[in-house]
A and B are shown apart, each in its own frame.
Chain A
Amino acid sequence: MTLEFAPVATVAGKEFWDRIRSLWVLAIAVLFTVFALAIAYFGGAQQGAVGFRSIEFTIASLVSLVIYLIPLIALLLGFDAIVGERERGSLDLLLSMPITRLELLLGKFLGLAAALAFSTVAGFGLVAMVLAGRLNLGGLSAYAGFMASSILLGVSFLSIAVLISVLASDRTRASGLSIAVWFFFVLMFDLLLLGALVVSGGRVGGAVFPYLLLLNPTDVFRVLNVHALEEVGSLYGLATVFPPELAHQGLLYGVMLAWCVLPLMLAAWRFRR
């Protein structure tokens, strides 16, 4: 069956405009702006200093915030993409149109991804403009990298959310599963790895530890951002843990892209029939 662009664009356009009209995009953008500005100006308050310190510390603080927030936002955005239509009863009507199942799924995914990317760029971009006068080129490029990887982090969890929306039999299960996925990747995963390391006295998993981190998009995101910042990199102790052959930016972005694409492909495969 051929893939046509027009039906994908129609579905994507509807999803995107739905989020604009419901003020979802605006709310998320404002949330990002407020958090980023607060962190930039008050992030150092514990050290007794208020005011913008450095872009590197700002990014490092933003990373810790975004790691919790963006996966949750993306999962909530996408978990009912398909199961919502199914439960509402509008899925059959949609599928009776001249559109394939793959086109419908892609349209949903791309429209939601556009809404998420738009809020991220608008929210964090506004902050970049406010800070622009105080940044040198290196700082700007680090911040641009932070924004790009934030979008990828969001899209990777959106991809997982769309997979959940295809697998789940109803919306309640889909939302439960989404929260479980968030809990696992954001809170449990690192703890489990550390636990395995500590319990085995470092014998189990020591060498594969960095590779295991690639199995979690939030960890890839953290490594991408923190590793780029020499000043804070040492603070995290990552330089000693993370082998240089893995710290390659292109590779890490490749892994993030894979996380954006693979769950979606699995979803498309499951949604075929």
Chain B
Amino acid sequence: MADAIPTATDTPSPLICARALSRHYGTVRAVDEVELTIGRGELFGLIGHNGAGKTTLFKMMLGLVAPTGGMVTIDGIDVAGAGFRQVRRRVGYLPENVVFYDNLTGLETLLFFAKLKAVSHSECGPLLAKVGLAGAARRPLKEYSKGMRQRLGLAQALLGNPALLFLDEPTTGLDPEGIRDFYAALRELQVAGVTVVLTSHILAEIQQRVDRLAIMAAGRVRAIGSVQALRAARPLPVTFEIRCAPGRSDAVRAALGALPLSTAEGHDHTLRFESPPDAKMQVLEALARLGGSIRDISVREATLEDVFFGLTE
């Protein structure tokens, strides 16, 4: 099914390269022969159902899980090799459902990770302020809400001005305002040259915000590209819903008969049919000529969600 989709894109300045990357657990192929190149400064999304292999792929890119085949390099350095410390000092990671130590305060938590990362302690205060936790810095984490923990997680990931951020389901637990602020912060980072790789289940959310995305299913990358490229490569129908004037639905049906449409289904005065994307204008012109026979039209274009489910089901 995926043969029409471009899976390799020329990336001008590759930062992350995964080559023939696999992780098999016995007969289960959690990640299977993945080829992936992510460029410097990209905001890259990874999409898939639970169990599609996103998190395993993520952990292999971080060097947390050893591949059973292939390798990952960041800036040309093998993430599982002797240069791993060099890589990790430049990488920030926010795990899904980040959990910290309840007995520490926000500031102490950040200081601990700063020390592990060999980052100056003077970064911690400003970072907490940046994620809006300056007032809660000296409160123990057991008093933090889920959203506050997530923001502390982001502050932690930003320690040491990383050139690359891995964010696993970063907006879980954030309210709509929090999500907006979060992506605004990501854009700011991107302007500063930071590369961001994130996963999300909320496709509508990621769709407008990433430069490119990869769709994973059953351990494989099924498609990579910008939202537009994915749509263009896999033509998805445009759905029309037309409310006709009383007694005019047969006339409307007849007027559209010559166009390449799916059979129109209708009940009462409403017709519903699909057209290929390149026939959209033809359909609209034909409908315009019908004038008073039509009361209302709604047109729905395929979303990324349709691309996603079309490929993975």
Contacts and interface: CB of A to CB of B under 8 A. Distances in A.
A90 B116 contact: no
Interface of B: 59, 62, 64, 66, 82, 84-85, 88-89, 91, 93, 95, 97-101, 103, 112-113, 115-118, 156
Given A10-B112, A18-B103, A93 B95 contact: yes
20 contacts: A1-B84, A6-B118, A7-B116, A10-B116, A18-B103, A89-B98, A90-B101, A92-B59, A92-B93, A92-B95, A93-B93, A93-B156, A94-B116, A95-B64, A96-B62, A96-B95, A97-B113, A97-B117, A98-B89, A99-B116
A96 to B, nearest CB: 4
Given A1-B82, A89-B95, A98-B118, A14 B103 contact: no
Contact of A98 (B66, B84, B100, B103): B84
A26 B82 CA distance: 42
A89 B97 contact: yes
Contacts of B66: 273
A90 B99 contact: yes
Contacts of A11: 116
Nearest to B63: A96
A22 interface: yes
Contacts of A22: 103
A10 B64 contact: no
Interface of A: 1-2, 4, 6-7, 10-11, 14, 18, 21-22, 88-90, 92-99, 273
Nearest to A7: B116
Contact of B103 (A4, A21, A273): A21
The 5 closest A-B CB pairs, nearest first, are A98-B85, A89-B99, A96-B93, A97-B116, A98-B88
Contact of A10 (B91, B103, B115, B156): B115
B100 A92 contact: no
Contacts of A92: 59, 64, 93, 95
Given A92-B59, A93-B93, A98 B117 contact: yes
Contact of B100 (A18, A90, A99): A90
A93 B98 contact: yes
A97 B100 contact: no
A25 to B, nearest CB: 14
Given A10-B116, A89-B97, A97 B88 contact: yes
A1 B66 CA distance: 14
Contacts of A4: 85
A1 B89 CA distance: 16
Contacts of B97: 89
A168 B227 CA distance: 44
Contacts of A2: 82
Contacts of B91: 96
Contacts of B64: 92, 95-96
A204 B97 CA distance: 57
A88 B98 CA distance: 9
Contacts of B99: 88-90
Nearest to B94: A93
A14 B108 CA distance: 10
A171 to B, nearest CB: 14
B116 A98 contact: yes
Nearest to A101: B64
A113 to B, nearest CB: 20
Contacts of A93: 93, 95, 98, 156
B72 to A, nearest CB: 14
Contacts of B98: 89, 93
A96 B62 CA distance: 7
A116 to B, nearest CB: 19
Given A2-B82, A93-B156, A96-B91, 11 more contacts: A1-B82, A14-B112, A18-B101, A21-B103, A90-B101, A92-B59, A92-B95, A95-B64, A96-B62, A96-B64, A98-B88
Contacts of B82: 1-2
A184 B273 CA distance: 74
A214 B162 CA distance: 52
Nearest to B101: A90
A28 to B, nearest CB: 18
Contacts of A99: 116
Nearest to A22: B103
B273 to A, nearest CB: 49
A128 to B, nearest CB: 32
B159 to A, nearest CB: 10
Contacts of A7: 116
Nearest to B113: A97
B289 to A, nearest CB: 61
A197 B233 CA distance: 81
A2 B156 CA distance: 25
Contacts of B113: 97
Nearest to A6: B118
Contacts of B117: 97-98
A99 B93 CA distance: 14
Q: Which of B66, B89, B118 has the most CB of A within 10 A?
A: B118
A267 to B, nearest CB: 19
A7 B59 CA distance: 21
Contacts of A89: 95, 97-99
Nearest to A2: B82
